Amino acid sequence: MADSMKHKFEVTFWGTRGTLPVSGAPFVRTGGNTNCIEITCDDHTIIIDGGTGIRELGSKLVAAKPNQKIHLMLTHAHYDHVEGIPFFAPFFNENSQININCGVLEGCRSTSELMQTFMTRPFFPVGPEVFSAQINYNTLEDNCVFKISDDIKVSTVPMNHPGNSTGYRIDFAGKSFACITDTEHTPGTHDENILRLIDNVDVFSYDCSLTDNELPDFQGYGHSTFEEGARLAKLANAGSMRASHHMPFRNDDELDAIEKQLKQQEPLNAIAREGDIIKL
Ligand SMILES: [Zn+2]
Ligand SMILES: [Zn+2]
């Protein structure tokens, strides 16, 4: 039996919006929740980022199996990547075991300090002590490789984003998925760290906040473009690229038009939409 038949390796997008959640008719097809990706490797659950999309994912996980072991990987702690965390149902379940991983961020010494600082007054009414799950905090070095089970490998790279951010790659059962958000490239060059991480990857999601034309107006905000995502996919021999981290001003029609252009170059590249499931 082929590996892909023996194993379940599934990626679900619970939020693909960057910067701010949006709602309303112009956004329903792409979805309005901010960054959250669920990765299922057999009975292991890995989640990348805790944007508003993580709330609904939490309800699903608790309903499916109350005593979950969950690996939460944070790319960084800008609001659009963490604002759903206090509303993630498994945190309030004493049978859940949750490992929270994050790289070193500017102004913060550890992942546990990060959570304390994020959930504190005047920004939030209660601290992480309200959680009843068993929580382990891991602070990741740059460029680390670790296993969360015998056959699930996680690799990371540092990315170019104000205050730092981390790119993740998951390898399991001969297949791979990578999440590259948030990062800014220098026009005319390619980020060698990212190229290394996505080398021959099956699918990667990429920070496509902007177009190449818009990038000069957003210099220093730490974001990249649809066109750069497509270029990196080609250079790294990646199977396909899912454009994500959509700006709040980018409506469904505009994203459909951009997707058409992406597909003219490479039919497998696509816009990441809330609810999309990739079976690897
Ligand atoms: Zn972001
Ligand atoms: Zn950010």
- What is the tens place of the pLDDT at every residue in 81-128? 999 999 999 999 999 999 999 999 999 999 999 999 999 999 999 999
Q: Give the sheet arrangement for strand 270-271, strand by strand.
A: 145-149, 152-159, 165-172, 175-180, 203-207, 240-244, 270-271
Residues near ligand 1 ion, CB 5 Å cutoff? 18, 78, 80, 182
Ligand nearest to the CA of residue 78, numbered in listed order: 2
Task: Please give the DSSP secondary-structure letter assigned to residue 141.
Answer: P
Q: How many CB atoms lie within 10 A of CB 268?
A: 13
Please provide residue 184's backbone torsions phi and psi, each rounded to the nearest 5 degrees.
Answer: -115, 135
What angle do helix axes 252-265 and 226-235 make, rounded to 10 degrees?
30
Predicted pLDDT of residue 62: 93
Find residue 12's DSSP bridge partners.
38, 277
The arithmetic mean of pLDDT across residues 255-264, rounded, is 98
Predicted pLDDT of residue 20: 97
Q: How far is the CA of 220 from the centre of ligand 1 (A)?
A: 13
Ligand nearest to the CA of residue 16, numbered in listed order: 1
Q: How far is the CA of 29 from the centre of ligand 2 (A)?
A: 24
Predicted pLDDT of residue 5: 60
Q: What residues make up the domain containing 180?
A: 3-279
CATH number (domain holding residue 105): 3.60.15.10
Predicted pLDDT of residue 1: 47
Residue 208 has pLDDT above 80, yes or no: yes
- What is the tens place of the pLDDT at every residue in 51-72? 999 999 999 999 998 778 999 9
Q: How far is the CA of 82 from the centre of ligand 1 (A)?
A: 10
The arithmetic mean of pLDDT across residues 65-80, rounded, is 93
Residue 2 has pLDDT above 60, yes or no: no
In this prediction the pTM is 0.96
| Number of domains making up the chain | 1
